[in-house]
Structure 1
Amino acid sequence: MPTEIQHLVDELVAQMKSGSAPAYRTAIKRLADTARAGGPESLTATVEALAPLLPGLGGDFAMTAVLAGACVEWGASPTALVDVLPRRASEAMMLNEVVPEFWEKATRGRPLPEPASASTHQLVRTLTGLPRWRRGVDKNTMTRIAMSWFDMEDWLEALITVMPDAGFRAAVPGDVKAELCEHAAAVAHRSQRAAWVGALAAVLDDEPLIVIHPRASRGYALTMSGIGDNGQLHILLADRLVGDPGQGLVAGDRPERSWAEAATSGDPRLGPDNPAIRCFRLFDGQGTYISPLGMPADIKPLDGTRVLVLHPPKGNYALGVGRVFEHMMPTLRLDRILEPAETQHWLARLAPAVENDLMAD
């Protein structure tokens, strides 16, 4: 580790121990400026030095996680954060969920303070004064619960920065991703970042996908990774599958190149003048409509494999955004066109489409 980086990290730790918020902000800015000026090696060294500190931090000092995430955005390796940041963000959401309940018990209906640092001491003092912490919830845990009201967004911001990286997602254990989804769902009604974290934790990577076109009795085997929502999946499916029927592809008008670029590596915003128009309606193998507003993880497996069934579009359903996570690189690979016998195998197992969803028009 570069000596200067270690010195600045030590200074940051000293200022956190001192409890001086202004001195902490000065120290974190100096570390950020120095790490960024030093390039990838200094940035990675900074992340590696900060990662062990994160589990014990809270309140204003959670900005340390934001700096670690920023270093990754500037070019650092995120590897050192894999075993720390997802768990800490999950914990912050879990604790944040119970704050309103405890506050209600402590104040009998007084409005919760805004999640701004100026209100931190009031909320911590109120919750740690509850008798409850003496009955199984220790005072330190109650303090962390109170602090989560103010620091959760910092943990989520940092995690959102690193989760689009395919290698990082692959290294996060499945049970941790499941906990992130669970806790994100509990607080997503008051945090857009939590909703995004839940969506990122549910992203499928190296996931087999079977697509059946019943009208043409054709099927396709694909592999998908890093696709953030089903609107993006719609665009990529059309880009991969629409083409010359003589070559085994799906007949129809090829999607515009700008749509596919918006769904992969270009500007994700298509705008009102050039929205992507979906080429099909999608149903899963059990007949359930797959909305463009959902996620690939919503596609329920059939015989252990996610299956999509192509139906003709009804009307011009427009998509104004090609992808919801700008820095997450998707792939949808057409591995092969199924042999007729394989297609018939899947056709025999498909349930009829249940077209009772208004959005299925």
Structure 2
Amino acid sequence: MALIDVVPRRASEAMMLNEVVPEFWDKAARGRPLPEPVSASSPQLVRTLTRLARWRPGLDKNTMTRIAMSWFDMEHWLKALITVMADAGFRAAVPGEVKAELREHAAVVAHRSQRAAWVGALAAVLDDEPLVVIDPRVRRGYALTMSGIGDNGQLHILLANRLVGDPGQGLVAGDRPARSWVEAATSGGPYLGPDNPAIRCFRLFDGQGTYISPEGRPADIEPLDGTRVLVLHPPNGNYALGVGRVLEQMTPTLRFDRILEPAETQHWFARLVPAVENDLMAD
């Protein structure tokens, strides 16, 4: 927690500066190839970009040095941030505006940095987030709380593990997920492999009728009246998930809080928009 005021902001700044390095190099290097982001190349890049500061208004030698060094140190800041952002307490302490900046800057450099893509995903993780799930087949609703879930494929597995069971006990009818699937989605090895993929138990739609892809993230679920709502639909075939979780070091939780009272369920039913089942991935 002592790193909370340093690592997120330095990682965000490094990505922001890293974004402009190729543009500035093209202006200053006159066709020479951009150096590889290894420390042995840093003096060349620093010298070239600091020369650019002599005739580019608004940029000084110190600023250009920081920009140049981001080409080499960004990955180190990202690696450190990934390590600490796996902790729920650390994620909770990062201000919302800093998380927004991390997502913004990560999106721009993710095409050349896998770690940036992971940082963007971590900065979008929801913690202690209420979730309402509706089973329209029996007009029953459930209240849950999710934390540390990296993508919707993982959410599919965890939802099935929490909700599928004896309908006589108020649970969702269907086949429970295999233990190996749940382990891959929580604390075991995340990769299931081609011989034992997780098969989703249902398709998910949000309260506005939009299909929720397993490749998306819980943060993509549009809230309905301030709450994220999921509506369960039959799976329509065997959609296989080869990975239980995409952020391996992060511990997820999906707490089953309670079955909604009939009046609460009706409250949500009255607000649901019918599912738009025209997405190819919904079949």
- Residue type matched to 2:187 in 1? S
User: Is the 8 Å Cα contact of residues 208 and 224 (structure 2) preserved in structure 1?
Assistant: yes
- State the Cα distance separating 1:357 from its structure 2 match: 2.1
Which residue of 1 is the match for residue 200 of structure 2?
278
Matched length:
283
Equivalent positions of 1:189-200 (< 5 A) are: 189-200=111-122
Which residue of 1 is the match for residue 103 of structure 2?
181
When residues 117 and 223 of structure 1 are mapped into structure 2, their CA distance, relative to the original with a 3 A threshold, is: same
Which residue of 2 is the match for residue 114 of structure 1?
36
5+ long unaligned stretches in structure 2: none
Deviations 1:20-69 (A, max 9, x none): xxxxxxxxxxxxxxxxxxxxxxxxxxxxxxxxxxxxxxxxxxxxxxxxxx
CA–CA distance in structure 1, aligned partners of residues 55 and 66 of structure 2: 12
| Higher relative helix content | 1
User: Is the 8 Å Cα contact of residues 232 and 263 (structure 1) preserved in structure 2?
Assistant: yes
CA–CA distance in structure 1, aligned partners of residues 35 and 278 of structure 2: 44
Q: Aligned match of 1:356 in 254, 260, 278?
A: 278
- Residue type matched to 1:103 in 2? W
Deviations 1:145-200 (A, max 9, x none): 01111111111111111111111111111111111111101111111000000000
CA–CA distance in structure 2, aligned partners of residues 113 and 355 of structure 1: 49
Which residue of 2 is the match for residue 85 of structure 1?
7
Q: Aligned match of 1:253 in 159, 175, 181?
A: 175
Q: Aligned match of 1:215 in 123, 137, 141?
A: 137
Q: Aligned match of 1:201 in 113, 123, 127?
A: 123
Deviations 1:240-264 (A, max 9, x none): 0001111111100111111111111
- Residue type matched to 2:63 in 1? T
- State the Cα distance separating 1:119 from its structure 2 match: 1.5
Deviations 1:49-106 (A, max 9, x none): xxxxxxxxxxxxxxxxxxxxxxxxxxxxxx1111110100000000001111111222
Q: Aligned match of 2:69 in 136, 147, 159?
A: 147
CA–CA distance in structure 1, aligned partners of residues 188 and 53 of structure 2: 55
- Residue type matched to 2:29 in 1? T
Which residue of 2 is the match for residue 341 of structure 1?
263
CA–CA distance in structure 1, aligned partners of residues 35 and 280 of structure 2: 40
CA–CA distance in structure 1, aligned partners of residues 196 and 87 of structure 2: 29
Which residue of 2 is the match for residue 45 of structure 1?
none
User: Is the 8 Å Cα contact of residues 133 and 139 (structure 1) preserved in structure 2?
Assistant: no
CA–CA distance in structure 1, aligned partners of residues 280 and 54 of structure 2: 47
Scaled by the length of structure 2, the TM-score of the pair is 0.97
User: Is the 8 Å Cα contact of residues 205 and 212 (structure 2) preserved in structure 1?
Assistant: yes
User: Is the 8 Å Cα contact of residues 200 and 238 (structure 2) preserved in structure 1?
Assistant: yes
CA–CA distance in structure 2, aligned partners of residues 284 and 247 of structure 1: 25
- State the Cα distance separating 1:309 from its structure 2 match: 0.9
Larger Rg: 1
Which residue of 2 is the match for residue 269 of structure 1?
191
- State the Cα distance separating 1:131 from its structure 2 match: 4.3
Query: What secondary structure is seen at the aligned counterpart in 2 of 1:216?
Result: coil
CA–CA distance in structure 1, aligned partners of residues 120 and 248 of structure 2: 16
- Residue type matched to 1:150 in 2? F
Structure 1 residue runs of 4+, over 4 Å off? 131-134
Deviations 1:271-293 (A, max 9, x none): 21111100011111111111111
CA–CA distance in structure 1, aligned partners of residues 31 and 220 of structure 2: 38
Which residue of 1 is the match for residue 222 of structure 2?
300
Query: What secondary structure is seen at the aligned counterpart in 1 of 2:180?
Result: helix
Query: What secondary structure is seen at the aligned counterpart in 2 of 1:101?
Result: helix
CA–CA distance in structure 1, aligned partners of residues 55 and 89 of structure 2: 40
When residues 347 and 99 of structure 1 are mapped into structure 2, their CA distance, relative to the original with a 3 A threshold, is: same
Equivalent positions of 1:221-260 (< 5 A) are: 221-260=143-182
Query: What secondary structure is seen at the aligned counterpart in 2 of 1:167?
Result: helix
Query: What secondary structure is seen at the aligned counterpart in 2 of 1:215?
Result: coil
- State the Cα distance separating 1:355 from its structure 2 match: 2.2
Scaled by the length of structure 1, the TM-score of the pair is 0.76
- Bigger mean CA offset, 262-271 vs 276-285: 262-271
Which residue of 2 is the match for residue 327 of structure 1?
249
Query: What secondary structure is seen at the aligned counterpart in 1 of 2:137?
Result: helix
- Residue type matched to 2:212 in 1? I
